Structures are given as C-alpha cells and as structure tokens.
Amino acid sequence: MTELGSALITGASSGIGAAYADRLAKRGFDLVLVAHNEQHLKTVADQVVAETGVKVDIITADLTSRTDVRRVEQRLRSDNSIALLVNDAGIGTPKPVLDEDIDFLESVVELNVVTAHRLAVAAAQVFAGRRRGGIINLSSIAVLHPEQVNATYGATKAFILNLSQGLHREAGPKGVKLQVVLPGATRTEFFSRFGMSIDSRFPAEQIMEPADLVDAALAGFDQGELVTIPSLPDMKDWERFVAARLALGPNLSHSKPAARYGLTGAGLLHS
C-alpha cells in the first residue's frame, strides 16, 4: 500500500476514467479500477502497472446492476486503504428523449444517478468515519444548458452537482474533500458508443483531450475547488451565477403566493 492509499475509479476502462487512472497512478496512488468491459480494464491496468509499478486491482461490474453495485460498495466500505473515490462511470445519448427508448433512458438514470449516489454516499459515510478521504464526482456542463442536451442526461448530471454540494456541506467538516467536475465536450468513447464522431458535433476548439481535462480537474482538486469547470476561463463567472442563485433565497418560501398570480384574498383560489 502506498502512502496515499488507493483510489477507486468507476468507468476506468476508457476516456476520462482511464485518464484518472493514469494520472493518479503517476501521483502514487494504488488503484481499484471498475468498469464493465474486462478486456479494456485489463489494458488500462497493464499500462498503468508497466509505467508506474503501483498495485492495481480490477473489478468487472455492470454498474446498472444493483447486485454488482453492492459488490463495489462492499469493497469501498471494507478496504481501509481506499482514500479516494472517482465516481466517473456515466453514459448519455445523442437522441432527444422523445426519440429514445424509455428502458435505455432508465438505465442512464440507474448508472448516472442511482449508482453514483450509492457509491458517493457510501464513500462519504466511510471517509467521514475515518475523518479522511476524497470524492470526485463527474457531472457535466450540461447542467448549465439543459435546453441543449438530452433531458434525461442533463437531469442526471444536475443531480450529481446538487448531491456533491450537499455532501460537501455535511461531510466537508468531517474531513472529506468533495469535488464535482463539469467537463465540456471531451474526446472519449462517449459519442462513439453510439456510432457518432465527436468531431461531427463540436468544432475542434470546443473539444478537450481527456488527459488535459483530468490534469486541470486534479489541479482544481489540489486547490480545494468544490466545483471545477476545466474550460471556464474565469471562475468569477461561476461565482456570480452562484451569487444570483443565493440572492433568490429570502424569497423562495413565503406564506402567500406572489402578487402576479392575483390571489389577493384567501378564498379566491376556490371562488
């Protein structure tokens, strides 16, 4: 076991998760790599071991299966060496909701929400008990323009942002470091899974390489950022967005509806 302990990375068989595996191993973490495709996981594991010599375990799991997810959760809870969770596994769809198979959309929710929630909460509970540990959750810039992405996918990533902010409030004071990462378009298998080229959807100047994304995200983690948006040139833009949200606070719950609804008298609603 290295001094840093181990990092458990879901979705480590390709794309952003594989880039986290590479970078965290180079920082000296041992790894527990989780994904569905065993062959791809082995390829990532072999490369990391050859380059860094750290210890790498792989767990092959279908993270839309609750039985498999509980196996991964059990590893998180029982392995005292695990000091970092990278909650990365996720899928989307290029089709709009109205054209997509509803069972597939439900599997997107299962993976991106139910599983990510289960593993993040399990890690938060375990790490808070040890007063040490970190959780990195992968959201998306889709949360900032839900009108432009598949509605189900955008909603799952908004869940991850809110979950991370809430967990930070609860577990942060107990020594657990939270980060939520909002990537923009990143050159991974995300689109090619659907037979699509990312280049056909975005201009080159909007597409980031996964290694650059992860290097920036880890720099943000080191700097103690809760929300990391690797592409955003000026974090003050995000801070202004949060400030506008917080300014709504005093007006979000009142005993009477707002005047614009015209409900001035108590019985008006039913007259």
The residue ranges that bind ligand NAP (CB under 6 A) are 11-17, 35-37, 40, 61-64, 88-92, 111, 138, 140, 183, 185-186, 188-190, 193
Closest separation in Å from C-beta 271 to ligand NAP: 49
CA distances from 218 to 27, 111, 126, 258 (A): 10, 23, 22, 44
Judged by beta carbon, residue 11 or residue 134, the one nearer ligand NAP is 11
Judged by beta carbon, residue 233 or residue 267, the one nearer ligand NAP is 233
Whether 151 and 194 have beta carbons less than 8 Å apart is answered as: no
Closest separation in Å from C-beta 184 to ligand NAP: 6
Burial string for 136-169 (b: 16+ CB within 10 Å, else e) reads bbbbbbbbbeeeebbebbbbbbbbbbebbeebbe
Non-local (6+) Cβ contacts of 67 within 8 A are: none
Closest separation in Å from C-beta 175 to ligand NAP: 26
> Pick from 70, 73, 45, 75: which is nearest to 57 by CA?
45
Judged by beta carbon, residue 2 or residue 225, the one nearer ligand NAP is 225
Closest separation in Å from C-beta 181 to ligand NAP: 8
Active site residue 153: yes
Catalytic residue (one of 20, 29, 127, 153): 153
Judged by beta carbon, residue 6 or residue 188, the one nearer ligand NAP is 188
What are the backbone dihedrals phi and psi of residue 120, each rounded to the nearest 5 degrees, phi first? -65, -45
Active site positions, annotated: 153
